Amino acid sequence: MSDYDLIVLGSGPGGYVAAIRAAQLGLKVAIVERENLGGICLNWGCIPTKALLRSAEIYHYMQHAGDYGLTAANISADIDAVVKRSRGVAKQLNQGVTHLMKKNKITIHMGDGKLTAANTLTVTKDGKSEELTAKNIILATGARARDLPFAPADGKRIWTYRHAMVPPEMPKKLLVIGSGAIGIEFASFYNDMGAEVTVVEMLDRIVPVEDADVSTFLEKALTKQGMTIMTGAGVEELKANATGVSAKIKGKDGKVVASEFTHCIVAIGIVPNTENIGLEALGVEMDRGFLKTDPMCRTNLPGLWAIGDITAPPWLAHKASHEGVIAAEAIAGGHPHAMDPKNIPGCTYCHPQVASVGLTEAKAKEAGYDVKVGNFPFLGNGKAIALGEAEGFIKTVFDAKTGELLGAHMVGAEVTELIQGYTIGKTAELVEADFMHTVFPHPTLSEMMHESVLGAYGKMLHM
């Protein structure tokens, strides 16, 4: 007899959602967590950073109060209070997850979980171990920041995202290495908060997974805000000292320049948490360091499943949650629909925001599509102008042959709240005509989504 129908190892947005869904379907479920319920996402990732960025945004507006006919004097930022608010938000959500576990009668085991067989997990806490068995185990252990091999994060001067979220002091001169979603969000936050920020990106453009037009636009916007951006550049050497960090940065021109910063954030990618959970001994199949799974999230061992950041990309919370639901439903004997990676949206909460789904224009062409491209600027939208946020654009890429929306790429205010419209459209396999026939409410930013589609077919109205 197994102790449980399902044990979930890791309680991040993948794991806890899987546990809830499985419990809803009548399974007896336990969840194992070594640190905080809710995982990185709501304790150290997505949610607390949004709280920080909100403070930065309001600070930005206060500094620009004059643009709106308002006066705000003696504005200042208290980094400690900003961080305190962010931690409060994380705590509230952490308690929310605890409540959800209780409500769904999910047993919580705090401690380090390790597989001893495909259906057995040993949980160790404070030197004491207990063995749990289950008919199925879902691995959802997530990932952590990748260190620079020559300068591991020390939490004082060299930070990962995690240190950057609870800074011991406000950095004056900040170096951000890596311009993916995490790097750019922190660069944007600290830039808004008043730090002097330099971003170093190895590739030839920032946010390199996004459409090239988005990268170009964002680089200009951030540079205008005072950020220094170095693309095609690499950090050759990084040394922490009592007052800061010294870096040797090789620029696009091949010249190495020595610079001093007070702090550095390393955001060069993630490493999956696959060590010390017993995978090696069991012979679980891996692919380039990540667990190999089928569309229902099964590993090669019967009864062992894996979701989220320890599996194939994209490494995003919402992808993990969706996989959690798929795995739970498959375990309960259902037939969930597999997820199409091309329909998973991505959001970056810098200022201006970036959001996208599907293929970039370049990738679509590379895949052999004959494309129709629409691009509508924020400048042509009444609501954007009224908001004082007239910078950005919405770009759509269609397959000329079938009218399939291959991709949508947005940069500008609130675009992270808009992208879901295109995501629904892609998931439901709508074609250009469906988007054209949809009535978008006026006055909203969403009207630009309509215009962009019209533009792809030469029918744009407001430009």
Instruction: Of 223, 225, 219, give the one whose Cα is nearest residue 207.
Output: 219
- Check binding of 403 to another protein (CB under 8 A): yes
Chain positions 422 to 461 lying near another protein, rule: CB under 8 A, are 428-431, 433-434
| Shortest spacing between CB 204 and another protein, in angstroms | 13
Question: What's the min distance (Å) between Cβ of 70 and another protein?
Answer: 37
> Residue 358 interacts with another protein (CB under 8 A)?
yes
Question: DSSP for 310-369?
Answer: GSSSP--HHHHHHHHHHHHHHHTT--PPPPPGGG--EEE-SSSEEEEEE--HHHHHHTT-
**382 burial level (CB within 10 Å; 0-12, 13-18, 19+):** middle
| Site membership for another protein, residue 359 (CB under 8 A) | yes
Q: Does 366 bind another protein (CB under 8 A)?
A: yes
Cα Rg of the chain, angstroms: 23
Does 29 bind another protein (CB under 8 A)? Our answer is no
Binding of residue 270 to another protein (CB under 8 A)? yes
Q: What are the backbone dihedrals phi and psi of residue 53, each rounded to the nearest 5 degrees, phi first?
A: -65, -30
404 binds another protein (CB under 8 A): yes
User: For residue 245, what are its two tokens?
Assistant: 């960090």
- When asked if residue 13 is in the footprint of another protein (CB under 8 A), the reply is no
Q: Which of 363, 391, 440, 444: binder of another protein (CB under 8 A)?
A: 363
Q: Which stretch binds another protein (CB under 8 A): 22-30, 98-106, 133-141, 365-373?
A: 365-373
Instruction: Spell out the residues 6+ positions from residue 326 whose beta carbon is closer than 8 angstroms to its own.
Output: 295, 296, 297, 307, 336, 337, 338, 339
Cα distance between residue 49 and residue 187, in whole Å: 12
Nearest residue (CB) to another protein, 432 versus 447: 432
Question: Which stretch, 245-253, 264-272, 439-447, 449-457, contacts another protein (CB under 8 A)?
Answer: 264-272
Q: How many whole angstroms separate alpha carbon 267 and alpha carbon 188?
A: 13
436 to each of 214, 219, 373, 440, 460, how far by Cα in Å?
A: 24, 31, 14, 9, 11
Residue 226 is a binding residue for another protein (CB under 8 A): no
Catalytic entry in 60, 437, 442, 462: 442
Contacts to another protein from residues 305-344, by CB under 8 A: 312-316, 337, 341-342, 344
In sequence order, which residues have a C-beta less than 8 Å from that of residue 343 and are 6 or more positions away? 357, 358, 423, 426, 427
442 is catalytic: yes
Helix (H, G, I), strand (E, B) or coil at 420: helix
Query: Is position 295 an interface residue for another protein (rule: CB under 8 A)?
Result: no
Strands (E), 183-222: 196-200
In the region spanning residues 177 to 216, those forming contacts with another protein, defined by CB under 8 A, are 178-183, 208-209
| Residue number with CB closer to another protein (170 or 182) | 182
Asked if 88 is part of the footprint of another protein (rule: CB under 8 A), the reply reads no
CA 180 to chain centre: 9
- Contact between 152 and another protein per CB under 8 A: no
Measured from the CB of residue 103, what is the shortest distance to another protein in angstroms? 28
Please report where in the chains the tokens 């490494």 appear, as a residue. Answer: 315
Contact call for residue 362 and another protein (CB under 8 A):
no
Nearest-approach distance from CB 353 to another protein, in angstroms: 14
Catalytic residue positions?
442
Site residues (CB under 8 A) for another protein? Answer: 146, 178-183, 208-209, 267-270, 288, 312-316, 337, 341-342, 344, 346, 358-360, 363, 366-369, 399, 401-404, 428-431, 433-434
